[in-house]
Amino acid sequence: MCRTRPWFGAHIPGRLRGVSTTGSVRHRLPAVGSGVDLPRHARLLSQVHDAVLSGRRPPAQPREIVGRSWSRLQADGVSPDSCEDVVLADCAEVEARRTRTALRSILPELRSALTQVAEDANFIVVIADSDGVVLWREGSRGLCKAADALGFVEGARWSESSVGTNSIGTALVEDAPVQLFSAEHYARSHRGWSCTGSPVHDPRSGEVLGVVDISGSAMSVHPTTVALVQTAVRLAEATLWQEHTINLEKLRGHAAPVLGATAGPALVVDRHGWVADARGLAAPDRVSPPCPGTPLLVPGLGLCVPEPLGDGWLVRRSGTPTGVQVELDLGESPRATVRGDTEWTRALSPRHAQILRVLTEIGSTGIDAASLSVSLFGDRDHVVAVRAEISRLRKSLGPVLSTHPYRFADGVDVHVVG
């Protein structure tokens, strides 16, 4: 494929309602606003799509999230035609994915929140895993037949790299809710559809578990679909968190005799590092997820040895407690070095280096997710992405970072060298 430089920019500032044929199809979560002439808007988007992909100046700019997706696909040499060749996982793989995904436990809540609404409104509800593989699909019988013809079926690989810009794959890449209308889809065969997808995060780890999507005909698109999907996702994540608190309580009860008989300060944590109980110290909410045979650095305790305890771990120090120092090199090859009883260095992504620079500048007062979103992205609309990035940082560096608000933990000495 001949790679042409796209006319659209990576960032289009501002948030304006409506569409101007001389301006931009502006970034906003709903793909269309109330009162928009849908057939006319669809024709405009078709002209934008065809012009951008052929390297001509479009009559309007795509929305930011759409422009970013098209730019990624063009940079990777993916053509709209290739996106129409849907790849299916076999039945054994689909069943294996269904069995191991945490989405399985919240399927009843998702169904109760969405399925009947989807049938009544002539939509389909799709749940995909973190790889974009469709695990479940329910809804309008007539629309399911249309989806069959498109290859939008259980087992379909609906990642962005596989089928182009779509509300499942693009939501996974952006780690944010996405609504698309008509020719905002990359594949021309998808122009007759509208779709709204939102990632589901594991509240224990911040990891993306998958995406909940509602899809229908292009002319059935509506801004309220965004709220419906996000409400279902919040319900699902709340259910996962409730399960988490119940499991912590069970672990606390199971570990009480062992913890009571332990000499010196110690923690009991689950497999994600969340603290179920503690003795002899002011415990953080969470430490790094323990790994068998791997020492764990805990501020206030020093180097600890995690020991299996039922469905969790007993964490206690192996020697005299020491302070924790963090050295940040935020130059061209950013990295963080953590020193205590032991020492290790982790490479940092540009985004993680940016976050750590903000936290060093903020100091002990800390910063909330919305304010950190403004510092990183220029707006308050990326709170979910901020939380996910902080979770990944805490996994990498250990509990040198505190939450509520985000800051370096008490007793951690931070030194920036670049």
pLDDT tens digits in sequence order for the chain, 418 residues long:
333 333 333 322 222 223 333 333 434 578 888 888 999 999 999 999 999 999 999 999 999 999 999 999 999 999 999 999 999 999 999 999 999 999 999 998 888 888 878 778 889 999 999 999 999 999 888 999 999 999 999 999 999 999 999 999 999 999 899 999 999 999 999 999 999 999 999 988 888 999 999 999 999 888 888 999 999 999 999 999 999 999 999 999 999 999 888 888 899 999 988 999 998 887 778 887 888 877 777 766 777 878 999 899 999 876 655 567 899 999 889 999 988 666 778 899 999 999 999 999 998 889 998 899 999 998 887 887 888 888 888 877 866 788 778 998 877 889 998 6
3-state secondary structure of 54: helix
Tell whether 224 and 351 lie within a shared domain: no
Do 269 and 382 fall within a single domain?
Answer: no
Residue 322, pLDDT score: 59
Are both 99 and 217 inside the same structural domain? yes
Helix or strand or coil: residue 50? helix
**Is residue 35 a part of any domain in this protein?**
no
> Are residues 188 and 307 both part of a single domain?
no
168 and 230 co-located in one domain: yes
244 in helix, strand or coil?
helix
Specify if 137 maps to a domain.
yes
Distance CA 377, CA 15 (A): 14
Number of H helices, E strands in the chain: 11, 16
Same domain, 142 and 184: yes
User: Nearest CA to 247 among 268, 217, 278?
Assistant: 268
Evaluate whether residue 6 is within a structural domain.
no
Asked whether residue 181 falls in the same domain as residue 236, the answer is yes
Instruction: Output the domain CATH number for residue 113.
Output: 3.30.450.40
Residue 334 domain boundaries: 324-416
Give the number of domains in the chain: 3
Domain-located, residue 295: yes
Looking at the fold, whether 337 and 300 belong to one and the same domain comes out as no
Instruction: Say what the pLDDT of residue 338 is.
Output: 83
Answer whether 154's CB lies under 8 Å from 128's CB: no
Residue pair 175/187 in contact (Cβ under 8 Å)? The answer is: no
> What's the CA dihedral at 363, 364, 365, 367 to 10 degrees?
60
Q: Same structural domain for residues 118 and 204? A: yes
- CA pair distance 269, 307, nearest whole angstrom: 10
Assess if residue 229 is contained within a domain.
yes
Domain boundary among 281, 297, 317: 317
Query: Are both 412 and 331 inside the same structural domain?
Result: yes
